[in-house]
Chain A
Amino acid sequence: MPNSVSEVKQEMLKEIGVENSEELYAQIIPDRLRLKHRMNLPKPLAAEADLRRHVEQILSKNIDCNKNLSFLSLS
């Protein structure tokens, strides 16, 4: 994300006139509608090679016509 660089983010927040993004959220979403905990997601795969390996491992579980005899016409 291009604007995740801290200096850029600060510059933009300054232009908006707030200290941080929390100040914006506080003006938009009431506290009772806020998610109070971190989303329960697996640890991110930051390296593209790791991500690729992970996704390809999942896709390799597919049973396709290259691995199995198929009588479906291909044309």
Chain B
Amino acid sequence: MQQEPEFSLSLIIRKFHELNGELGQRDEIITTIFSHPSSAATAATAGFKVITLYPDEETGFPNTESLKAAVSKHTAGLMTTNPEDTGIFNPEIDEWTKMVHEAGGLCAYDQANANGLLGVSRAKESGFDMCFFNLHKTFSSPHGSYGPACGAAGVKQELAEFLPVPVVSFDGNMYHLDYDRPHSIGKVRDFYGNAQIVLRAYAWAMSMGADGLREVAEISMINNNYLEKKLLSIPGVTKPYKTDKRLDQIRYSLEKLREDTGVGAQDVIRRVVDYGVQSYWLSHHPWVVPEPFTPEPCESYSKADIDYWVAVLAEISKEAYSNPELLKTAPHNSSIARIPDANLEDPAKLAMTWRAYLRKRALMK
């Protein structure tokens, strides 16, 4: 998953300050609200306080002034996504990393949204010390919990001693797994992770080459901007924030549709499966954008696929305005209708297995 490399980066930040004797003082990680929540979550798990910055309300750009106010001698590092989940690329990101470096922190780049960036812009030019890619989504494997996920992390040479064990070493003749690394953050994952996804990503990259990967970036951006043109003509769909052009994805809102018809994002996503379309990504929590949805066409969908997808949403919008009840009770052609998710938010009922649930209930009696 994306959490392992991200957790590794959090632990590297921790180890770096620990060895410098500054961990006691540097206990804050700065992130942004439209970065992936795994930045905040893994930083918190690694023992840091998390400072979350909000974007400029008008443009949606991450707010450089608020970063200026947040950095201090307590800053351990910055963990951020660029472009963020709004598809907005922070054009001042090099100033951000400079500011954090001047305060004594490290900068970690979540490149899970790298589809539009391959061969176009890198972590290095933006001034990051480390980064990770999602091999699912960006490097050809299905994403969004539809295929095994895998993340690949990379760091600058100076931080290599902190990488998790084992690392692969080569003695000129044979490859080895090297566990003997005194400053390593240790093992972060059982076994070797989803090795088949690493293999798949490698084979894919080898078949694309430099020009092919560059074209992946262009097409995922073109697909996204084409989808935007079509989607915004559908009644009830709006694009929050004024920043016009976005990279590989956009977080849209169905707030207008909900105000007009009572039908929200959760109802629409349930209806699409009736048209033979897989349910798509809404948004991480908290929902900063009301009634959000975040389609990511990547490079893999044809124009015909995108046109069909848009036609489905246009039809559902019509249904919402003429017969909202149809959407409130959707899906109608699926074996599973509605899973009550209130249980998932109740710690008293939440359990990973049925047996654990029974044990928990017994303990609570």
Q: A-side interface residues toward B, CB under 8 Å?
A: 1-4, 8-9, 11-13, 15-17, 21, 24-25, 27-30, 32-35, 38-46, 48, 51, 54-55, 59, 61
User: What is the minimal beta-carbon distance from B151 to any residue of chain A, in angstroms?
Assistant: 20
Q: Known contacts A1-B300, A44-B208, A44-B209; can you find 17 more A-B pairs with CB under 8 A?
A: A3-B222, A3-B299, A15-B230, A21-B218, A21-B222, A28-B246, A28-B247, A29-B121, A33-B91, A33-B93, A33-B121, A35-B119, A38-B210, A38-B214, A39-B119, A44-B206, A54-B206
Interface residues on B, range: 35 or more
Chain B residue nearest in CB terms to A17 = B229
The 3 closest A-B pairs by CB, nearest first: A44-B209, A2-B302, A21-B218
Given A2-B301, A42-B206, A24:B221 Cβ within 8 A: yes
Is residue B280 within 8 Å, beta carbon to beta carbon, of the partner chain? Answer: no
Choice from B122, B125, B213, B302 contacting A3 with Cβ under 8 Å: B302
Choice from B91, B203, B303 contacting A8 with Cβ under 8 Å = B303
Q: Mark B244-256, 1 if CB is under 8 A from A, else 0.
A: 1111000000000
Interface secondary structure of A, over-half rule? helix
- B119 contact from A24, A29, A38, Cβ within 8 A: A38
Question: In the complex, which of the residues A29, A42, A43, A54 contacts B91, with contact meaning CB atoms closer than 8 Å?
Answer: A29
| CB pairs A–B below 8 angstroms (29 shown) | A1-B219, A2-B303, A2-B305, A3-B222, A3-B223, A3-B299, A3-B303, A12-B226, A13-B222, A16-B222, A16-B229, A24-B225, A27-B245, A33-B125, A34-B121, A35-B122, A38-B214, A39-B118, A39-B210, A41-B210, A41-B213, A42-B209, A44-B208, A45-B206, A54-B206, A55-B199, A55-B202, A55-B206, A59-B199
B300 with A25: CB separation less than 8 A: no
Q: Is B121 within 8 A of A9, CB to CB? A: no
Picked from A3, A29, A46, the residue with its CB within 8 Å of the CB of B89 is: A29
- In the bound complex, do residue B209 and residue A41 qualify as a contact, i.e. CB atoms below 8 Å apart? yes
Contact B215 A4 (CB under 8 A): yes
Distance A34 CA – B122 CA, assembled complex (angstroms): 7
Query: Which B-chain residue is minimally distant from A38 (CB atoms)?
Result: B210
Which chain B residues lie closer than 8 Å to A48 at the CB level?
207
The main secondary structure of chain B at its interface with chain A is helix
Chain A residues with Cβ below 8 Å from B202 are: 55
A43 smallest CB distance to B (angstroms) = 6
B245: which of A28, A41, A51 is its contact (CB, 8 Å)? Answer: A28
Q: Which residue of B lies closest to A36 (CB)?
A: B125
Inter-chain CA distance A9–B225, complex, in Å, is 12
- B203 interface neighbour in A25, A30, A55, Cβ under 8 Å: A55
Bound complex: CA A32 to CA B218 (Å): 19
- Cβ distance A53 to chain B, nearest Cβ, rounded Å: 11
Q: B175 an interface residue at 8 Å Cβ cutoff?
A: yes
Query: Could you tell me the distance in whole angstroms from the C-beta of A40 to the nearest C-beta in chain B?
Result: 7
- The winner among A3, A24, A32, A34 for most chain B CB atoms within 10 A is A3
Most buried by B among A28, A55, A61: A28
Q: Are A15 and B226 in contact (CB under 8 A)?
A: yes
Contact (Cβ within 8 A) B221 A25: yes
Neighbouring B residues of A54 by C-beta, 8 Å: 206
Nearest-neighbor residue (CB-CB) of B91 within chain A: A30
Q: Please state if B125 and A34 are interface contacts (CB–CB under 8 Å).
A: yes
Residues of chain A contacted by B119 (CB below 8 angstroms): 35, 38-39
